[in-house]
Structure 1
Amino acid sequence: MSVSQLLIKLYHLVADQSDITSFQNFIKSQNLIQQLTIIIEHIQNNRIKKDYKELEKQLQKYESEVRANIRESYLMNQKYDDMKNQIKQLQQDRHELLQNTKKTLNLLEIKKGE
């Protein structure tokens, strides 16, 4: 097997088969260095694509985590507001109960005094 045949096989291993223009340029080039350069460019492009996909996955994961944290923060704030309102209501109920108790005690004292 000749060096040219080996380079063609190597090209097919690393290049996108649908890239006809690149393959034509590869075949037209009789210079082994140029052919190797084309193969190296394909390898680099494949790595870049792979890295891009990995970064895209990491970004999606990060976005998902951020959305979850925002949702959690919103729910925590909502629970906090609900608890503040409950405490306020309990304080009002306590105050009302104390007022009613005082009124009842005053009424009992008045009736007792009669």
Structure 2
Amino acid sequence: MEKVWNVVKIIFASVDRGYLIRSYILGFLYMAIVVAPHTFMYWHRDTTWITLLLFPFAKLVWDGVMDTLIGNNVFIFPIWIIYLWKFTKYYILIKCIWFICPLGIAYLLFINREYIKQM
């Protein structure tokens, strides 16, 4: 059990703390603004909180894929299109989190595999 806990610590430690905090805040705000009014009675369910816990790892995968596809290019759009895109992105991430998040966790485990073997 201690080894599992150490692996979980490694997973969270391998992601930048600022990135984690920002992702948790954005995920919570999205859930509070968009999802909560429709499913307020379901906030007590564990799946809602697990979804929020896993959100940064799904966002990590999304950001990695977008960095690979777009690179360092800059696109200039009106602000309403950018916000619409962000809400759409978060909607996709929240709905597909159970499929996207394991990829992010597997990536972090792959990056830290040598350190995990030493434990």
Flag whether TM exceeds 0.5 (same fold): no
Relative contact order higher in (CA < 8 Å, ≥ 6 apart): 2
State the TM-score, normalized to the length of structure 2.
Answer: 0.27
Largest Rg, 1 or 2: 1
Q: Hey, which of these two has a bigger chunk of helix by percent?
A: 1
State the TM-score, normalized to the length of structure 1.
Answer: 0.28
